[in-house]
Amino acid sequence: MKKIYELTAFEIKEKIANKELTSEEVVTAIFDRIEETDGEIGSFVSLRKDKALAEARIIDEKVKNGEQLGALAGIPVAIKDNMVSIGEPSQSASKILEGYEGIYDATVVQKLKDAGAIIIGKTNMDEFAMGSTTTTSIYEKTTKNPWDLERVPGGSSGGAATSVAAEQCFISLGSDTGGSIRQPASFCGVVGLKPTYGRISRYGLMAFSSSLDQIGPFTKTVKDSALALNILAGSDDYDSTVEDVEVPNYLDYLTGDIKGMKIGVPKEYFIEGLNSGVKKVVDEALEVFKSLGAEIVEISLPHTKYAAPTYYVLAPAEASSNLARFDGVRYGHRTKNPKNIDELYTKSRSEGFGDEVKRRIMIGTYVLSAGFFDAYFKKAQKVRRLIKNDFDRAFEQVDIIFTPVTPGPAFRLDAKKTPVELYLEDIFTIPANLAGIPGISIPAGETDGLPVGIQLLGRAFGEKDILKAGDAFEKAIKERV
Amino acid sequence: MSLTREEVLSVAKLARLEFNEEEIQRFQADLNNILDYIDVLGEINTDNVEPLVQVNESGVKLREDVIRKSLTAEEAMKNAPASQDGALIVPKVVGE
């Protein structure tokens, strides 16, 4: 029989509802699991065991009294450290927010609570979600890949990915600005969904790049991803960028039948630098889709090679503007004994931000400065349109798009990579953020004992299509094992 | 495009950041590598392309202007480094 922590969110939900398990048993099992594994893995930066157990007992009381249960009732969920929640540490893994405690709930946190989910703690990340390794966190802990403790978990939502991969919770929330959900999901062998821009409220998410950021779930299965999206999606008065588009029941689309679905394969994503082990897994995955009756169509997204450079103009520009609020006045780190207000700002920021954040603030400030605005920022916004147009044209031909997630599997923690080499980690994930379309990373196989994911991209608000295809794929490969 | 040491210092001033000598050299090298990397955008002709500011172009969404519960002054001050009597305290700036 499976251990409690080995179950999926959906299985937990059903077992609590039909009284095979109590939420208290589930939460206890999860905290035991965390105690046993987190010394090595390092997923969590704060935990709320006593509160979680108390909340679990309330759910169990409701089950006992036959009260109606929320869709995530009793399920332990972890949250990335850049989402605020009342009375809990929320630090974005930055020294500048040391000791910061949420004074309101992010909309996603509120929605999880309303659905009966049990929030167990906050997970480690790259500082202000800038990075692809989770090594720029200011916390004195290194999050490690559960598949190989000498390798990175990916980033920036590394802790969120490992918390699900190491079976320390059933759903975790990450944020994805250029691939920060999909890349760590691929590196850690879990499902990671970045929804359409405007599908999930960003209220309460500490902003990195407001036109690109999107919150999404990590789960063990595509079905769990659909279950989580059902709760997280939808309009919010506190975030005017959330679109009033109906939220379907995503679970209804998981029929396993994708006969006749047109899947586009962009030739620009199969570059020379693609690791041979990754390529093999990706090629085999494509064969699975063919065997399920999908029609594979070669497509072209001609501006793909410009996506990462575009991102590395726009994201730092928005970041430099968003992070201007950290000035040591209203919250966050304040330097000791500043002589005047200028010194208060400059020293507080210089002491509080880490190197990668400073690098991006500097680039952002430069590309937005008078004289360079048109040459860099406006230029990048124009290229962004060309990239979006590529996708719009592709989706006239196909239902979804299939690509690798990353050029290689998880690399070693001691690998010495320059900032630009690290930026290349995101070349296959960034285009979806620029175009605002949804993308999902799904485990597809292994190379040298490390997991490899595939990425499915959909039309704006076409999450149902990628979930449907992803679920069919997942079922097909499980049958083969 | 290559940034000189003075330009790095000038951008740092705008960004309200300060660096020691070792950091200035390191950041100058890093920033120039990143600028080289993004310079590839110059290859594309974008003369007749409208900049994309927001991907969802459905316009500004408005809601009714109704009064709702908001944070109290006490709550808003909770994370302040220094505050007193509902006000934030900062170093004296008058006369500078």
Q: Is the pLDDT of residue B95 over 70?
A: no
Digit-coded pLDDT (tens) for A347-398: 999 999 999 999 999 999 999 998 899 999 999 999 999 999 999 999 999 9
Q: Quick one: which of A301, A385, A375, A377 has its CA closest to B48?
A: A385
**Contact call for B51 and A435, based on CB within 8 A:** no
Give me the mean pLDDT over the A293-309 stretch.
97
CA-based nearest distance B54→chain A, Å: 6
Mutate to test the interface with B, among A362, A376, A418, A461 (most CBs of B within 10 A): A362
User: What does the alpha-carbon distance between residue A441 and residue A456 come to, in Å, rounded to a whole number?
Assistant: 7
Other C-beta atoms lying within 10 Å of the C-beta of residue A66 = 7
Burial class (CB in 10 A: 0-12, 13-18, 19+), A40: exposed
Q: Which two tokens stand for residue A163?
A: 């918390």
- Whether residue A196 is predicted with pLDDT greater than 60 in this model: the reply is yes
Tokens 């974008």 sit on residue: B46
Packing angle, helices B21-38 and A307-322, rounded to 10: 140
Nearest CB among A353, A380, A419 relative to B34 is that of: A419
Confidence of residue B64 (pLDDT cuts 50, 70, 90): confident
Residue from the list B17, B39, B46 with its beta carbon closest to the beta carbon of A349: B17
H or E, element range at A311: helix A307-322
In this structure, are strands A76-80 and A118-123 parallel, antiparallel, or unpaired? parallel
pLDDT at residue A481 is higher than 80? no
Backbone angles phi, psi at A192, to 5 degrees: -130, 125
pLDDT of A148: 98
Look at residue A353 in the predicted model and tell me its pLDDT: 98
Per-residue pLDDT at A273 exceeds 90 = no
What pLDDT, on the 0 to 100 scale, is given for residue B58? 74
- Indicate the pairing of strand A262-266 with strand A400-404: parallel
**Closest residue of chain B to A383, computed from CA coordinates:** B46
Q: Please confirm, yes or no, whether A220 is among the known catalytic residues.
A: no
Burial class (CB in 10 A: 0-12, 13-18, 19+), A233: buried
The full DSSP string for A315-361 is HHHHHHHHGGG-SSSSSS---SS-SSHHHHHHHHHHHHS-HHHHHHH
> pLDDT digits over A29-54, tens only?
999 999 999 999 999 999 999 999 99
Nearest CA in chain B to A328: B81
Give the pLDDT band of residue A420 (cuts 50, 70, 90): confident
Count CA atoms within 13 Å of residue A39 on its CB side: 3
SS3 A438: coil
Is A328 within 8 Å of B17 (Cβ atoms)?
Answer: no
User: CB distance from B9 to chain A under 8 Å?
Assistant: no
Concerning whether A111 is annotated as a catalytic residue, the answer is no
Q: Residue A400: which region, alpha, beta or left (left: phi > 0; alpha: psi -120 to 50)?
A: beta
pLDDT of residue A94: 97
- Scanning B15-53, the segments in alpha helix (DSSP H) are 21-38
CA dihedral (A283, A287, A292, A293) positive or negative: positive
Cβ separation of B81 and A331 shorter than 8 Å?
A: yes
- Residue A447 tokens read as 């190379």
- What are the residues whose beta carbons fall under 8 Å from the beta carbon of A312, sequence distance 6 or more? A363, A423, B34, B37, B38
Question: In this complex, do B38 and A309 lie within 8 Å of one another by their Cβ atoms?
Answer: yes
Extract the tokens encoding A229.
């999206």
pLDDT in tens, A229-265: 999 999 898 999 999 899 999 999 999 999 999 999 9
Option in B27, B53, B80 nearest A362 (CB)? B27
| Rounded Cα gap, residues A63 and A56, in angstroms | 11
B82 Cα to chain A: minimum distance (Å): 8
pLDDT surpassing 90 at residue B92: no
Write the ipTM.
0.95
Amino acid occupying residue A369: S
- Compute the distance between CA of residue A236 and CA of residue A213 in angstroms, rounded to an integer: 16
Task: Please give the pLDDT value at position A19.
Answer: 96
Q: Which residues of A are less than 8 Å from B46 in CB distance? A: 379, 382-383, 386
CB contact (8 A) between residue A240 and residue B78: no
In angstroms, what separates the C-alpha of A381 from chain B's closest C-alpha? 5
CB contact under 8 A, A385 and B55: no
Q: What tokens were used for A309?
A: 């450079």
The Cα angle at residue A441 between residues A116 and A221, in degrees rounded to 5: 45
Chain B environment of A214 (Cβ under 8 Å): none
Closest-CA residue of B relative to A385 is B52
Range 97-136 of A in CB contact (< 8 A) with B: 99-101, 103-104
Find the residue in A nearest to B9 (Cα).
Answer: A362
- Residues A63, A69 contacting (CB under 8 angstroms): yes
Q: Which of residues 14-33 of B touch A (CB under 8 A)?
A: 14-19, 27, 30-31, 33
Nearest chain A CA: its distance from B93 CA (Å): 6
Instruction: Give the one of B44, B60, B91 whose C-beta lies nearest to A383's C-beta.
Output: B44
| Residue A126 in this model has a pLDDT that exceeds 60 | yes
d(CA A208, CA A245): 25
Residue B57 pLDDT > 90: no
Tens digit of pLDDT for each residue in A274-284?
999 999 999 99
pLDDT at A443 over 60: yes
Flag whether pLDDT at B60 surpasses 80: no
d(CA A89, CA A98): 9
Choose the closest CB to B81 out of A328, A353, A386: A328
Instruction: Tell me whether residue A46 is one of the annotated catalytic residues.
Output: no
HEC sequence for A155-187: CCCHHHHHHHHCCCCCEEEEEECCCCCHHHHHH
| End-to-end CA separation in angstroms for chain A | 19
A456-A316-A431 Cα angle (round to 5): 20
Average pLDDT over residues A403-413: 96
Q: Identify the pLDDT of residue B86.
A: 87
Q: What is the phi/psi pair of residue A136, to 5°?
A: -95, 10
User: How far is A19 from B81, CA to CA, in rounded Å?
Assistant: 48
pLDDT at site A72: 98
Nearest to A363 among B34, B50, B58 (CB): B34
Predicted local confidence at residue B1, as pLDDT = 58
Q: Residue A84 pLDDT > 80, yes or no?
A: yes
Other C-beta atoms lying within 10 Å of the C-beta of residue A57: 14
Interatomic CA distance for residues A321 and A300, integer angstroms: 34
Q: Which amino acid is at A458?
A: G
C-alpha dist (Å) from residue A326 to A114, A220, A350, A439: 31, 36, 11, 31
Whether residues A365 and B30 touch (CB distance < 8 A) is answered with: no
CA gap A123, A79 in Å, rounded: 6
Chain B residues inside the 8 Å CB shell of A353 = 17
All residues of chain A having their beta carbon less than 8 Å from the beta carbon of residue B81 are 328-329, 331-334
Q: Report, as an integer, the average pLDDT of A295-303.
A: 98
Q: Is B73 on the interface with A (CB under 8 A)?
A: no
Q: Find the catalytic residue in A156, A209, A225, A320.
A: A156
Nearest residue on chain B to A340, judged by CA atoms? B91
- Among B18, B33, B41, beta carbon nearest to A380: B41
Q: Taking residues B22-35, what's their average pLDDT?
A: 94
Q: In this prediction, what percent of chain A has a pLDDT beyond 70?
A: 100
